[in-house]
């Protein structure tokens, strides 16, 4: 690995429509966070990146994760 990050990542929920949040029923999600965004940018530049953290043992923690527990 060229760069390894230690830290949290987040799931960003964004409404599919404009307007007040209380009236939106549909959201899309994506992975976000300073450490994650930095690694994604470096990977796009050709660096080999790695990420170390701890994720929850729930559906959000299992998203895009090859976890063994």
Burial class (CB in 10 A: 0-12, 13-18, 19+), 38: middle
What is the predicted pLDDT for the residue at 48? 95
CA–centroid distance for 32 within its chain = 4
Q: What is the pLDDT along the chain (69 residues), one digit of tens a residue?
A: 999 998 888 888 889 999 888 888 898 888 888 888 899 899 999 999 998 888 788 887 777 665 554
pLDDT for 54 equals 81
Q: What is the Cβ-side half-sphere exposure of residue 5, based on CA atoms within 13 angstroms? A: 18
């Amino acid at each position: 690995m060229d760069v390894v990050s230690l830290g949290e990542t987040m799931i960003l929920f964004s409404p599919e429509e404009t307007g007040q949040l209380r009236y939106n029923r549909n959201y899309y999600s994506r992975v976000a966070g300073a450490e994650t965004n930095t690694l994604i940018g470096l990977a796009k530049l050709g660096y080999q990146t790695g990420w170390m953290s701890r994720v929850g043992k729930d559906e959000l923690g299992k998203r895009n994760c090859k976890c063994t527990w």
